[in-house]
Structure 1
Amino acid sequence: MTHSRRMTVLRAVVEDYIDSQEPVGSSSLAKHHDLGVSSATIRNDMAALEDEGYLVQPHTSAGRVPTEKGYRYFVDRLATIMPLSAAQRRGISSFLRGSVSLQDTLRRSARLLANITGQVAVVASPALSKSTLRHVEIVPVSSHALLAVIITDSGRVAQHIMTVDDMPGDDELTRFCALSNAVASGLTLSHAAERIRSRATSVSGSLTDGLCRTLEDLATDERAGELYMAGTSRLAHQPNASDLAPLLDALEEQVVLMRLMNTLSEEDTDTGVGVAIGSETGTPGLIHASVVTSGYGRTADDGEDGETSAHHQSLAFVGSIGPTHMNYMTTISAVRAVARYLTALITPQEHPQ
């Protein structure tokens, strides 16, 4: 019973510190929470929580603040994730549906998430390496050049100029596009190239090689993962802005950030949202920050023979970065809601809940 009450005290300290960002004392807890025990008992519980590494007492204050361990316990035991209100959900939907392209949608999503959380929002575009082929079209642009237009399942459109030795006739080009779409639609770009190579045996070699090389180049193009960021100016207005200054440097290291958020977004959690607190990020610039992220979009992995398997992974991620004393409940629910809407927008059969 004592341990259970102590953890209730810990939760109350975390909630109050998130609200006030001031060290929390036992008399304040007794006044604002119905803990059913005296201020002295709460003081003893807080001392025990400090001994166990959940709280720490700043030198200048009689109150205590949560440690990383304290935040981690709190986050792992969030009983419910506060659902967004119907008005908020409608607001997200109308704001995102007003966009004119996938890039515009992702840019708007970052701005929207930053506005909801008051923190830095990061949204990655779907990597072409994880995308599957929806449709390919090839059109002549000169006597020796063709333009390949490749549309993926996420709605991304990639254009690539292919040079050929012999310009195919209109009929051959039409047949080749129809064959490519028939045999490769729904496969990852690398497997699509393999499938087209093995099936398009009656077509001009330079045409087949040109399209397959284009698909393979796109599949391995690491620049495909663009980051859309919003809310960085808000960091300057945080009470502990000096602690968060290294975060601005960390945000410049986009490769490190993408690797961290990709890994977090693929964690299998009850909420569908990954959370890394302080040192858990493995990034020195984020030592005073927390990262909350979720994957969006769904794509099936190809099996070894190029067939689609039942295992699903995310196409990309959406996330929020803020101080360790962020409002975790609001941030987790907002990240999850925006991720679900992005999934619904790029996967028409999905419906946000």
Structure 2
Amino acid sequence: MVSERGLEVLRVIVQDYVASREPVGSKTIVDRHAFGVSAATIRNDMAALEEDGLIAAPHTSSGRVPTDKGYRLFVDHLAEVRALSPAQRVAIRAFLEGGVDLDELLGRTVRVLAQLTNQVALVQVPVVPRSYVRHVELVLLSSARLLVVLITDSGRVDQRVVELAPEHRDQLDDEALADLRARINGTLVGRLIADVPPALAAVGEALPPARRGVLDRIGAALAEAVDDRRQDRLVMAGAANLARTERDFPGSILPVLEAIEEQVVLLRLFREMELDGRGVSVSIGRENPSEGLAEASILAGGYRSQAGGLARIGVLGPTRMDYSGNIGAIRAVARYLSRLLGEE
């Protein structure tokens, strides 16, 4: 059982080590913090913490650094989450409000969160099972290329470029394109996204045979967009921040980079992380089921999508991170994101 003063000693060791990256000794604690006891007493407290596996000496005759277990106790007893400044809150809202659709909004979200935390920012793209078609736009880019744009009621925009076969390139003058656009929208607008592929079959039956090949290419592009919406995926920003903290990964940073690139491991972790009473979840070092993330911490919060479902938002970085500030940033950004999506 760790004493109250022992918890406070652990707290300042974590905070000082996060700030300086230097092991923390008893004399430093006495000089910097008003404990009102001698260095010998602090050494005894540190010895107890070390015996409990909460701190460790990285090398002989050094100060102490927190272990994964020590970070866990620190996070669990974290009394204060550092709030963002009024100026930061105004800047976040103004930046996020500039997003014109869901994809851009999520992109802006991870960029601002990465800047606030100096970590890799992650946001889970919500899977919206009951999204409806609002409009399909067709834009002829050249005689051989057609842009297909799918817009849904949630505000999400999917774009696909279709390469037209040589035998179809003389089938799309302005009048034919307008007719095709009207037929597609007349059939698809208001339908569930999942019903798009079969509904297009009816459009093809009413078209002249020469234009059915064009419709087939358009249908394939829309089917790809529909499939993407059914897949759980992440939007990320701030990977360059890992390079700045490479020294905090004494083993190797490569497994962390691989996990970021593959996404599958991070998505599974995000799904399994249960939010606590503060609306956050923290997985530290060897608590992560993936061996490649044994020197990393993942902090996750939740935001509400347009359909009311809960999706994850968070950061990934070394175990030596500013947990208090990062938790505060995640909660604030998640709150603004939920609010903006609720206003759509």
Interval of TM-score (by shorter of Structure 1 and Structure 2):
0.7 to 0.9
2:253 aligned partner: 245
Report the Cα distance in structure 2 between the residues aligned to 1:80 and 1:131, rounded to whole angstroms. Answer: 38
Structure 1 SS opposite 2:95: helix
- 1:149-173 C-alpha deviation (Å, 9 max, x unpaired): 7644542135799xxxxxx999998
> Shift of the alpha carbon at 1:256?
1.3
Against the structure 1 CA distance between its residues 176 and 44, is the aligned structure 2 distance closer, same or farther, given a 3 Å change threshold? same
Is residue 229 from structure 1 mapped to residue 229 from structure 2 by the alignment?
no
- Give the counterpart letter for 1:7 in structure 2: L
Secondary structure of 1:36 counterpart: coil
Distance 1:242 1:236 in 2: 13
Aligned partner of residue 305 in structure 2, secondary structure: strand
Paired residue for 1:344, among 330, 339, 342? 339
What residue in structure 2 maps to residue 112 of structure 1? 112
Q: Percent identity?
A: 40
Mapping of 1:154-233 within 5 angstroms?
A: 154-158=154-158, 181=190, 221=228, 223=231, 225-233=233-241
- Say yes or no: does 1:262 pair with 2:271: yes
Taking a change above 3 Å as real, the CA distance of residues 38 and 174 of structure 1, as seen in their structure-2 partners, is closer
| Cα pair distance change 1:281/1:152, threshold 3 Å | farther
Contact 1:299 1:312 in 2 (8 A): yes
Native 8 Å contact 2:306 2:341 kept in 1: no
Contact 1:278–1:290, Cα closer than 8 Å, also in 2: yes
The residue aligned with 2:300 is 293
Matched with 1:35 is 35
Say whether the 8 Å CA contact 2:68–2:284 is kept in structure 1: yes
8 Å contact from structure 1 (residues 134, 153) kept in 2: yes
In structure 2, relative to structure 1, the CA distance for the partners of 1:101 and 1:150 (3 Å cut) is closer
Indicate conservation of the 8 Å contact 1:289/1:322, yes or no: yes
SS at match of 2:44: helix
Instruction: Write the deviation string for residues 82-108 of structure 1: whole angstroms up to 9, x where unpaired.
Output: 111110001111222223433222222
The equivalent residue for 2:11 is: 11
RMSD over aligned Cα atoms: 3.9
Letter in structure 2 aligned against 1:225: R
- Is the 2:122–2:234 contact (alpha carbons within 8 Å) kept by the matching residues of 1? no
Gap regions ≥5 residues in structure 2: 140-146, 163-178, 207-215
1:200 aligns with none
Q: Secondary structure at the match of 2:299?
A: strand
**Residues 1:80 and 2:87 are matched in the alignment:** no
Deviation at 1:133, TM superposition (A): 2.0
Q: Deviations over 1:315-338 (max 9, x none)?
A: xx3221111110001111112222
Query: Take 2:183 and 2:62, find their aligned partners in 1: how far apart are those partners?
Result: 81
Please state how far the C-alpha of 1:242 moved relative to its aligned partner: 4.7
Structure 2 SS opposite 1:53 = coil
State which of 112, 131, 134 in structure 2 corresponds to 1:133: 131
Preserved CA contact (<8 Å) 2:288 2:294: yes
CA contact (8 A) 2:298 2:315 kept: yes
Give the Cα–Cα distance (whole angstroms) in 2 for the partners of residues 39 and 31 of structure 1.
9
Relative distance call for 1:243 and 1:174 in structure 2 (3 A) is closer
The 1:61–1:289 alpha-carbon spacing in structure 2 relative to 1, beyond 3 Å, is farther
Instruction: Work out whether residues 153 and 346 of structure 1, in 8 Å CA contact, stay in contact via their aligned partners in 2.
Output: no
Q: Which residue of 2 aligns with 1:313?
A: 310
Secondary structure at 2:271 match in 1: helix
1:117 and 1:330 in contact (8 A); partners too: yes
Deviation per CA, 1:157-203: give whole Å up to 9, x if none: 35799xxxxxx9999988866xx84x96xxxx56x89xx99xxxxx9
State the TM-score, normalizing by the size of structure 2.
0.73
The number of aligned residues is 309
